[in-house]
Amino acid sequence: MLQKWHVFMLYTSVLPVASASKHRAQPCVALAAALPGLVIFPNSTLYDTHNFYWSERQSNLSPSCFVAPNTAQDVSTAVKVLTRHNAPFTVKGGGHTPFEGASSIEDGVTITLASLTDITVSADRKTVSVGAGNRWINVSEALDPLGLAVVGGRSATVGVSGLTLGGGISYFSGTRGWACDNVRNYEIVLASGEIVNASPVTNRDLFWALRGGGGTNFGIVTRFDLAAHEQGDLWASSLIWPGSVNTTLIPLLHDLLVRNLVADPAAHLYFILVNDASLGGYAVVSDQFHSTHANISPPAVFSPFHDVPALSVNTRIANVSRLSRDIEQAFGGRTTWWDTTVAATASPNLLLDIVPLFEAHVTRLRAAAEPVNSTMTPFMVFQPITLNILQAMQVNGGNALGLKPEDGPIMIVQVNVMWSSPLLDAAVEESCGRLIREIDTLAAERGARSKNGYIYMNYAGRPQDVYAGYGLESLARLRKTARKWDPNGEFRKLWKGYFKL
Ligand SMILES: Cc1cc2nc3c(=O)[nH]c(=O)nc-3n(C[C@H](O)[C@H](O)[C@H](O)COP(=O)(O)OP(=O)(O)OC[C@H]3O[C@@H](n4cnc5c(N)ncnc54)[C@H](O)[C@@H]3O)c2cc1C
């Protein structure tokens, strides 16, 4: 009786005024009938809680309702209702994609996985089963006290789902590859509503496709069974230098890419050029990690960086949870992320010559920001994909990214911008696209285009053709797998946003 009343209240609360909104609300009403108590309608605090994303551009969209399944069976029911109603929808994992519509939707249904938060460690400590609604901080807070870790995200509130489905760069990637290379099994709801598992022994084609191929073309993953490893505290150091020393630091970064990270694969870093008023203009920032080094003094692999006088240095030995909170980036504001990759060259000149292209982009953005009085913080982030990482990606039949050791090492060049005025959205996207094209052109001129022009999905801008960068062979295999597991193309048609095969 209570349930009926609840459904009635939901129904009346969305009783549409105009026929267009009636049409949009219908799938929500049907969902509320099929999953009583799990559908959240607008004009409620709970709706606002779910409609909160890392990037304001995602929060700006308003779905007709959210559905928050408690189990894989609930996800299956939701998928069946949505496909029966031919209803557009999206899926929110951690909601960290910067661009609007990636895991948010206007006038459609958002399936939020926020209630799928189980975390279970197997008796032999080798596998951690993680519900798809978890953030990485939930995982590390469960594992740190046990002396265990998984190859997962580095930042606390990023979602397990999106990060793992698109690849997943981790503190431990030098020895173990990316997050997707360390999934033992996926539990996934197909377009038919069927719940299946995918592993090296079950549904192997689907297992391969989910390893970096993204989720949105195949199904809604409800549980990731992740390989766990014994892990104590890590060494970490966060450094900030004045921008002027980038010409000293970039050659050191180049040495890491081609040699030093291979010699010491327990080391890991990212390296950022940023232009921000609070830093007095240009600065270089690097977060460095080492998963086995136990002394506070820098490991040899990073010593050359520590010899360059810095504005600030924060070195600590800490567990994954603390580090992932330390590097967390605040929610809110407008953001965009784009990326490309370049192949390593014999000298650091290619990386050095990318800097003036970034500086021209900064000048364009500053000129656009001034008249509308907007904040503007452009970043360029370098993240090495070294030979040891590429080798670790080949286990269990390899992943879907199309990257092979013989094509490496390569460097991810990521272009991020944070700003405040929506008036600048188009100008920022335009400038990022131009910068990426200029980097690609420069790399091509130097014979350093990475094979297939690989673009890391999890950092890509909306207009970027991510799957083309996986190469023809991988792309054909992904398309075949998507057609096999979703023969009627329901997800390709109804699951809006993000990258489509
Ligand atoms: C502050 C910050 C730090 C980051 N740090 C890292 C890092 O250390 N390493 C790294 O590799 N990347 C990192 N990223 C990038 C990150 O991997 C991507 O943004 C990723 O998509 C986030 O996953 P999510 O679940 O939070 O995103 P969402 O936006 O919720 O999801 C991304 C896409 O996956 C789909 N999806 C979500 N859940 C599922 C599911 N269960 N099944 C099928 N499809 C699903 C969504 O519909 C959406 O299209 C970071 C991003 C941010 C903003």
pLDDT tens string 288-347:
999 999 999 999 999 999 999 999 999 999 999 999 999 999 999 999 999 999 999 999
Measured from the Cβ of residue 373, the count of other Cβ atoms closer than 10 Å reads 9
Q: What is the rounded average pLDDT of the residues 205-217?
A: 96
Please check the confidence at residue 215 and state whether its pLDDT lies above 90. no
C-alpha 298 to ligand 1 mean position (Å): 31
Determine which residue's CA is closest to atom 38 belonging to ligand 1.
93
Answer for the pair 318, 140: CB distance below 8 angstroms, yes or no: no
C-alpha 299 to ligand 1 mean position (Å): 31
Determine which residue's CA is closest to atom 6 belonging to ligand 1.
153
Residues 26-84: tens digit of each pLDDT: 999 999 999 999 999 999 999 999 999 999 999 999 999 999 999 999 999 999 999 99
Which of ligand 1's atoms lies nearest the C-alpha of 459?
Answer: 15
Determine which residue's CA is closest to atom 33 belonging to ligand 1.
162
Q: What is the pLDDT of residue 25?
A: 75
C-alpha 128 to ligand 1 mean position (Å): 19
Which of ligand 1's atoms lies nearest the C-alpha of 95?
Answer: 30
Q: What is the pLDDT of residue 452?
A: 93
Please check the confidence at residue 8 and state whether its pLDDT lies above 80. no
C-alpha 148 to ligand 1 mean position (Å): 23
How many degrees, rounded to 5, is the angle at CA 471 between CA 214 and CA 94? 15
Q: What is the pLDDT of residue 150?
A: 98
Q: What is the pLDDT of residue 370?
A: 95
Which of ligand 1's atoms lies nearest the C-alpha of 497?
Answer: 49
C-alpha 118 to ligand 1 mean position (Å): 18
**For the domain bounded by 234-463, which CATH number is listed?**
3.40.462.20
The share of the chain scoring above pLDDT 90, in percent, equals 93
pLDDT grade, residue 24 (50/70/90)?
Answer: low
Close Cβ partners of 8 (under 8 Å, ≥ 6 residues apart): none
Which of ligand 1's atoms lies nearest the C-alpha of 188?
Answer: 42
Please check the confidence at residue 195 and state whether its pLDDT lies above 70. yes
pLDDT grade, residue 369 (50/70/90)?
Answer: very high
Q: What is the rounded average pLDDT of the residues 106-120?
A: 98
Determine which residue's CA is closest to atom 37 belonging to ligand 1.
93
Q: Write the DSSP assignment of 466-489 as a string of letters.
A: TGGGG-HHHHHHHHHHHHHHSTT-
The class (CATH top level) of 2-112 is alpha beta
Determine which residue's CA is closest to atom 48 belonging to ligand 1.
103
Please check the confidence at residue 460 and state whether its pLDDT lies above 80. yes
Which of ligand 1's atoms lies nearest the C-alpha of 58?
Answer: 29
C-alpha 173 to ligand 1 mean position (Å): 17
Q: Distance between CA 134 and CA 132 in Å, rounded?
A: 6
The share of the chain scoring above pLDDT 70, in percent, equals 95
Determine which residue's CA is closest to atom 44 belonging to ligand 1.
215
Answer for the pair 341, 458: CB distance below 8 angstroms, yes or no: no
Residues of the chain with CATH 3.40.462.20: 234-463
Q: What is the rounded average pLDDT of the residues 455-470?
A: 98
The pLDDT mean for the chain works out to 94
- Ligand 1 first shell, C-beta below 6 A: 54, 90-97, 102-103, 113, 132, 153-155, 158-159, 161-163, 165-169, 215-216, 220-221, 329, 458, 497-498
Q: What is the pLDDT of residue 12?
A: 31
Q: What is the pLDDT of residue 15?
A: 33
Residues of the chain with CATH 3.30.465.10: 2-112, 119-231+474-494
Answer for the pair 153, 163: CB distance below 8 angstroms, yes or no: yes
Please check the confidence at residue 21 and state whether its pLDDT lies above 70. no
Which of ligand 1's atoms lies nearest the C-alpha of 495?
Answer: 47
Please check the confidence at residue 241 and state whether its pLDDT lies above 90. yes
Which of ligand 1's atoms lies nearest the C-alpha of 498?
Answer: 49
C-alpha 13 to ligand 1 mean position (Å): 32
Q: Helix, strand or coil for residue 2?
A: helix
Determine which residue's CA is closest to atom 52 belonging to ligand 1.
96
Please check the confidence at residue 282 and state whether its pLDDT lies above 60. yes
Q: What is the rounded average pLDDT of the residues 233-252?
A: 98
Answer for the pair 493, 218: CB distance below 8 angstroms, yes or no: no
C-alpha 462 to ligand 1 mean position (Å): 14
The class (CATH top level) of 119-231+474-494 is alpha beta
Residues 412-454: tens digit of each pLDDT: 999 999 999 999 999 999 999 999 999 999 999 999 999 899 9
C-alpha 263 to ligand 1 mean position (Å): 30
C-alpha 343 to ligand 1 mean position (Å): 25
Residues 155-187: tens digit of each pLDDT: 999 999 999 999 999 999 999 999 999 999 999
C-alpha 303 to ligand 1 mean position (Å): 33
Which of ligand 1's atoms lies nearest the C-alpha of 54?
Answer: 53
Q: Each residue of 377-405: b (16+ CB within 10 Å) or e?
A: bbbbbbbbbbbbbbebbeebebbbbbbee
